[in-house]
Structure 1
C-alpha cells in the first residue's frame, strides 16, 4: 500500500549510491546475493534471540534489496547483452523475487525456532504470506501473457499488483517483532488478517481483469 508513495523518497539515495558504484565491478546479482546473505544472518540472529542484531541486519538486507535494481540501471552492460543500456535482466528480477519471499518466510521461521511457544502463530503468518505471494506472482504471470505493464513502484521485471500489505508494510512488521517480540501473537494475527484481505483483493482484481 505504501510502496508507490515511498518509492520517490527511496530512489534518490539509492540511485546516488548506484552511480558511485558504477565501474566498480559490483553487479546487481552480487548486491542481491549479499542482501540475501544479510537476511540469513538476520534469521540466525532471531533464532538465537539476538533481536536488535536481527533488526539491524533486516534493515541492511532491505537496503541491498532496493539497491540491486538501482545498480542494474546504472551499470554498464556486459558484452553478452550488446544491445542493452544497463544490466537490468529477467534473471536478476527472478533472483530478486525468490530471495525476497525466502527472506520474509525465513525471518518468521527463525522467530519460531527461537520462541517455539509462538510456532502456531508463526505458521499462520507464513500461510498468509503464501497467499499474498502466490496471488501476486500468479497475477504477474497472466499480466505478462497479456502484455500488461505497471510501474508505479518503479521499473520492475514484471507486473507489480498492489495491495494492503506490500514490501514496505512487511518490512515494518518484521522490524516490529524484533523490537516487541512478546507481542508477536497480536502482530501476527493483525498482519496475517491484512495479508488475507490483500489476497482476496488480488483474487477479485484478477477476476475483473482476466475473467
Structure 2
C-alpha cells in the first residue's frame, strides 16, 4: 500500500550505503544470499523465543533486501558488466523473489512455533497467514508471467510486473516486526494480517484478470 512512498523515502539512504559497500567482492546476489540467511536466522531465533535477536536479524535482512537492488541499479548506471555483479542479470531478480518468499514463509513458521510454545497460542492463525501468502503470491506471479508474455508489463523498477495492493513489502516488514515486539499477541496479529493479505489477494486477482482480458 505504501511501498512506492517507502521506496522514495529510502532511496537516498540506501544509495549512500550502496556507494559505501560498492566493493569488487560485494555483489547484489551476495547481498541477497546474506539477507536470506539472516532471515532464516530470524525464524530460528523466533522459534526458540529469542524475540529481540529475531527482530534484529529480521530488520537487517530486510535492509539487505533493499540494498541488493540499489547496488544493482548503481552498477547499471555506471555501466558495469554482468561479471561484476550488475543488475542486468535476470537471475538476480529471480534469486531475490525466491529469497523473499523463503524468508517470509520461514519467519511465519518460526513465530508460530515460538508463540505456541511460549504463550500457548493457537497454531491455525499462522497457517492462515501462509495460505494467504500462497494465494497472494500465486496471483501476482501468474500475472507477472502472463503480462510479460503478452507485453503488458508494469515497469516500476522491480524485477516482477505486478499490481501494488494493500499488503506489500512495507506492510510485511511492519507486521513481522510487530509480532516479534509483542509475541504474546502474535496469534491475534497473525489473524488480522491473514485477513489483510487475503483481501489484497482478492484485489490482485480481480484487477489482474481485468487487465489481462
TM-score normalised according to structure 2 size: 0.90
Number of aligned residue pairs: give it. 205
Which residue does 2:62 correspond to in 1?
62
For residues 139-159 of structure 1, give each alpha carbon's deviation from its aligned partner in whole angstroms, at most 9, with x where no partner exists: 11111112223244xx12221
Unaligned 5+ runs, structure 2:
none
Which residue does 1:157 correspond to in 2?
159
Which residue does 1:123 correspond to in 2?
127
Q: 1:141/1:48 Cα in 2 relative to 1: closer, same or farther (>3 Å)?
A: same
- State whether residues 126 and 191 of structure 2, in contact with CA within 8 Å, keep that contact through their aligned partners in structure 1: no
Matched, 1:147 2:148: no
From 196, 199, 206, the equivalent of 1:204 is: 206
Unaligned 5+ runs, structure 1:
none
For residues 182-206 of structure 1, give each alpha carbon's deviation from its aligned partner in whole angstroms, at most 9, with x where no partner exists: 1122211211111111111111112
- State whether residues 24 and 84 of structure 2, in contact with CA within 8 Å, keep that contact through their aligned partners in structure 1: no
Matched, 1:11 2:20: no
Q: 2:203 & 2:160 partners in 1: Cα distance?
A: 19
The worse-fitting range, judged by mean Cα deviation, of 29-38 and 157-166 is: 157-166
Q: 1:202 & 1:111 partners in 2: Cα distance?
A: 27
Q: 1:198 & 1:79 partners in 2: Cα distance?
A: 38
Equivalent runs, 1:1-211 vs 2, <5 Å: 1-75=1-75, 76-79=80-83, 86-116=86-116, 117-152=121-156, 155-211=157-213
Q: 1:63 & 1:123 partners in 2: Cα distance?
A: 26
For residues 145-179 of structure 1, give each alpha carbon's deviation from its aligned partner in whole angstroms, at most 9, with x where no partner exists: 12223244xx1222132111000001100000001
Instruction: Give secondary structure in 1 for the equivalent of 2:122.
Output: helix
Instruction: Give secondary structure in 1 for the equivalent of 2:123.
Output: helix
- RMSD of equivalent CA atoms: 1.7
- State whether residues 69 and 88 of structure 1, in contact with CA within 8 Å, keep that contact through their aligned partners in structure 2: no
- State whether residues 180 and 186 of structure 2, in contact with CA within 8 Å, keep that contact through their aligned partners in structure 1: no
TM-score normalised according to structure 1 size: 0.91
Q: 1:22 & 1:41 partners in 2: Cα distance?
A: 25
The worse-fitting range, judged by mean Cα deviation, of 168-177 and 110-119 is: 110-119
Instruction: Give secondary structure in 1 for the equivalent of 2:151.
Output: coil
Q: 1:13/1:175 Cα in 2 relative to 1: closer, same or farther (>3 Å)?
A: same
